[in-house]
Amino acid sequence: MPWEKRFDVDQTLVRAMEVFWSHGYEATSMQDLVDATGVNRASLYATYGDKRELFLTALKRYDGKVRQRLLDELARTLPPAEAIGAVFDKFIDQTRAPGGNWGCFIVNTALELAAHDREIAELVNIAQDEIEGFFLAMIRKGQQAGRFDASRDANVLAHQTLASLLGLLVMIRSRPDQDYLDAVRDGVLKSLD
């Protein structure tokens, strides 16, 4: 008879993702993952492989279920300036939640691991390229609608917007001051006019 899992695989992955997201890869032990998920070590290994494989699975889940879904929804439902601002607000709003200034799982991973791990660097680069692609699409749409300055190079503006977002995400972890972060967002939007 095949072995049957006695835990919710998806919920366990979400809990593991939250631990990695808030503490980072190196600072998270297998015991931390056991404690957070309520799943024993042997079951975690049997389901996800080693710690690194569990981390990669969690990172891919975040990228697909959180980042991609957010950008798709914003592009579909909001005008360009509001969509760009909403990306910044999504992370700024974390600073108001107790223990919520985790930043972005992708950016945290880039800072911790991408320089030393080719596979992770590739995942991070793809995610950042897609975020920049979202900004580029919104900037072009805003330029066509007359909302943003059409004489400016949309590609350059998208690069700058991505760099500002990445900087903001680092600041969220080290300096989660609401007024400061709001000023970064407002400065980005003003630079597009």
Report the C-alpha gap between 107 and 103 in whole angstroms.
Answer: 8
The total of other beta-carbon atoms located within 10 Å of residue 114's CB is 19
Closest CA to 159 of 182, 181, 184, 134: 134
- Is 25 a residue whose pLDDT tops 80? yes
| Residue 172 banded pLDDT, cuts 50, 70, 90 | confident
Identity at 52, one-letter amino acid code: R
**Assigned domain for 145 exists:** yes
Domain housing 170: 62-192
How many domains is the chain partitioned into structurally?
1
**Assigned domain for 186 exists:** yes
**Assigned domain for 41 exists:** no
| CATH, residue 128 | 1.10.357.10
Q: Write the pLDDT tens digit of every residue in 26-45.
A: 999 999 999 999 999 999 99
Half-sphere exposure of 76 (CA within 13 A, CB side): 6
Report the C-alpha gap between 113 and 127 in whole angstroms.
Answer: 15
* Percent residues over pLDDT 70 in the chain: 97
Identity at 70, one-letter amino acid code: L
